[in-house]
C-alpha cells in the first residue's frame, strides 16, 4: 500500500508525543535521585563566610594545616616548605583547602559596591563534592567517583595522571603532583599514605574519618578551637546542624549556573 505524506506526518507526530512522555519520565526519575540522596544521608559543608573572615589569620592557617597535616599534603611552594628556596614552585603547589579572594570564588555574584567584609574576605575553597561532578564524568579510568553519601572520591591506584579532571573541575579544586611530594613533607604521618608523582589529589571530605564515624579534619580543628563559634558546619543535609544552617541563613554556592549542584554552601547573610 502507498505511504502518503499524511502518514509520514502522523507517524512523526506520534513519535514526538511518545518521546516527550519518556523525557518527562526521565526528568521525574532524575529529580527523585536528589530526594533519595537526601534521605540516604548526603554530606554537606556550610561555611559561615563573615565568621570565617573575622577569624584571626593564625586560626585560619591552623585549619588549613590540620587538613594538610592529616593527609600528608606537601608544601612545595611557600616559605615554610622544607624544599630549598630554589626548588619551590607555585605551579607545583598542592592544596586540598585554600583561601582565595571573593572575586575569585564568586565571580558572577559580586558587585563593585559589595560590603567590605565580604569584598575583602578570604574565602576558603575546597572540593565542592558536587551532585553532578564534571570531574567524575570525564575520568577515563573511573579513578574518581561520587559515593552515595555525596563525597567525590579518589582512587590513587587507578589514576593515570591524565589531568582531565583538573581541566573539568570548574572550581580549581584539584591538584596534580608534578613532582615527588615527599621532599615537601616536613614530617610524614604514618596513619595516611602520601601520594606519588603523577596522580591528582583533592579534598575527600575526610572519607576515612567519616567511615570511622568522625568528622573532617578542618571542621574538627575549628570546632576544637572555637566550639559553637566555628564557621564550619558539617553534617547531612536532611537533618541536624547543616539543615538548620541552610534553613536559617542565606547561602550561596560557587558557579551555580553550571548545574554541578555543589554541596559546599557559603552563608553570606
Partner 1 sequence: MTNSGPPRPPAYFASRVFSIAVAVAVGLATSPFWYGAAAGGRPARPAPAIAEAAGEACVLPLDRIRVEHPALLAAWRDEAVREGRRMRGAAGHGAAGLEKSLTGTCLRCHADRAAFCDACHTDLAVAPTCWECHVDPAGVAGGGRR
Would you tell me which residues interact with partner 1 (CB under 8 A)? 72, 145, 147, 153, 155-157, 182-183, 185, 187-196, 207-208, 211
Q: Which residue's CB is nearer to partner 1, number 88 or number 254?
A: 88
Could you give the count of Cα atoms lying within 13 Å of 142 in the half-sphere of its Cβ? 1
Assess contact for 264 and 242: CB atoms under 8 A.
Answer: no
Position of cell 615537601? 184
Tell the smallest beta-carbon distance from residue 211 to partner 1 (Å): 6
Ramachandran class of 210: left when φ > 0, alpha when ψ lies in -120 to 50, beta otherwise: alpha
Q: Quote the CA–CA distance of 125 and 95 in Å, as a whole number.
A: 10
Least Cβ distance, residue 221 to partner 1 (angstroms): 22
Nearer to partner 1 by Cβ, of 192 and 250: the residue is: 192
- Closest distance to partner 1 from the beta carbon of 200 (Å): 13
β-pair partners for 122: 101
DSSP element (H, E) containing 260: none
Query: 13 to each of 6, 10, 108, 201, 220, how far by Cα in Å?
Result: 11, 5, 42, 50, 59
Task: Report, in Å, the least distance between residue 196 CB and partner 1.
Answer: 4
Cβ closest to partner 1, residue 91 vs residue 157 = 157
- Minimum distance of partner 1 from residue 150's CB (angstroms): 13
- 103 or 208: CB nearest partner 1: 208
- Is the Cβ of residue 191 or residue 227 nearer to partner 1 in the bound state? 191
Cα–Cα distance between 122 and 99 in angstroms, integer? Answer: 5
Q: What is the rounded CA–CA span in Å between residue 63 and residue 46? A: 15
Amino acid at each position: 500500500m502507498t505511504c502518503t505524506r499524511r502518514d509520514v506526518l502522523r507517524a512523526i507526530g506520534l513519535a514526538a508525543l511518545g518521546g516527550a512522555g519518556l523525557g518527562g519520565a526521565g526528568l521525574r526519575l532524575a529529580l527523585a535521585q536528589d530526594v533519595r540522596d537526601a534521605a540516604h544521608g548526603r554530606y554537606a559543608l556550610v561555611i559561615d563566610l563573615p565568621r570565617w573572615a573575622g577569624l584571626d589569620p593564625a586560626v585560619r592557617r591552623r585549619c588549613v594545616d590540620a587538613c594538610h597535616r592529616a593527609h600528608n599534603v606537601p608544601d612545595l611552594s611557600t616559605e615554610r616548605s622544607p624544599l630549598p628556596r630554589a626548588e619551590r614552585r607555585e605551579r607545583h603547589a598542592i592544596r586540598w583547602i585554600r583561601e582565595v579572594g571573593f572575586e575569585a570564588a564568586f565571580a558572577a555574584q559580586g558587585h563593585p559596591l559589595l560590603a567590605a567584609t565580604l569584598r575583602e574576605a578570604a574565602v576558603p575553597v575546597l572540593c565542592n563534592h558536587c551532585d553532578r561532578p564534571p570531574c567524575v564524568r570525564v575520568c577515563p579510568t573511573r579513578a574518581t567517583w561520587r559515593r552515595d553519601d555525596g563525597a567525590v572520591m579518589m582512587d590513587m591506584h587507578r589514576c593515570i595522571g591524565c589531568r582531565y579532571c583538573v581541566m573539568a573541575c570548574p572550581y580549581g579544586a584539584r591538584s596534580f603532583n608534578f613532582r615527588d611530594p615527599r621532599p615537601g613533607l616536613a614530617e610524614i604521618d604514618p596513619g595516611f599514605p602520601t601520594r606519588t608523582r603523577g596522580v591528582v589529589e583533592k579534598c575527600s571530605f575526610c572519607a576515612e574519618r567519616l567511615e570511622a564515624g568522625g568528622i573532617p579534619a578542618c571542621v574538627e580543628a575549628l570546632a576544637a578551637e572555637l566550639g559553637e563559634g566555628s564557621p564550619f558546619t558539617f553534617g547531612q543535609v536532611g537533618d541536624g546542624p547543616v539543615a538548620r544552617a541552610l534553613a536559617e541563613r542565606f547561602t550561596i554556592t560557587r558557579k551555580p549556573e553550571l548545574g554541578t549542584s555543589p554541596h559546599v554552601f557559603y552563608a553570606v547573610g
